[in-house]
Chain A
Amino acid sequence: MPGYVSQDRNQINMNRLREESGVQRVGELVVVGPPGAAKQPFLSALCPRVEIANQDIILGSLPIHEELMVYCYGISYGQGFAWDLVGRKMLGYIVIFDWFDDQSFAGSKEIIEFTSSYFNAPFIIAADIGDRVLPVPECAIRPHIGLSAMTKFMFCRSNKPDSVRKVVVTLLDLLIEKLE
Chain B
Amino acid sequence: MLLSISLKMELLRALLTGTALTPVLEPLPPTDLLLVHRFVWEKTLEFGIKMQGRHFPQDEIQARLRSLSQAQFSRGCPAKLKNCQLQECYMQQPGCMRAMALQQIEAMGSAVQEFLIIQ
Contact = CB atoms under 8 A, between A and B. Distances in A.
Contacts of B47: 140
Contact of A133 (B6, B9, B119): B119
A113 B4 contact: yes
Interface residue tally on A, bucketed by range = 20 to 34
A137 B51 contact: yes
Closest 8 CB pairs of A and B: A109-B6, A112-B6, A147-B8, A113-B6, A140-B50, A136-B116, A116-B5, A140-B47
Contacts of A136: 16, 116, 118-119
B73 interface: no
A103 to B, nearest CB: 13
A140 B4 contact: no
A145 interface: yes
Given A135-B17, A140-B47, A108 B9 contact: yes
A109 B10 contact: yes
A77 interface: no
A81 to B, nearest CB: 20
A145 B12 contact: yes
A113 B7 CA distance: 9
Interface string B16-52: 1100000000000000000000000001001100110
Nearest to B42: A146
B115 to A, nearest CB: 7
Interface string A142-173: 10010110010100000000000000000000
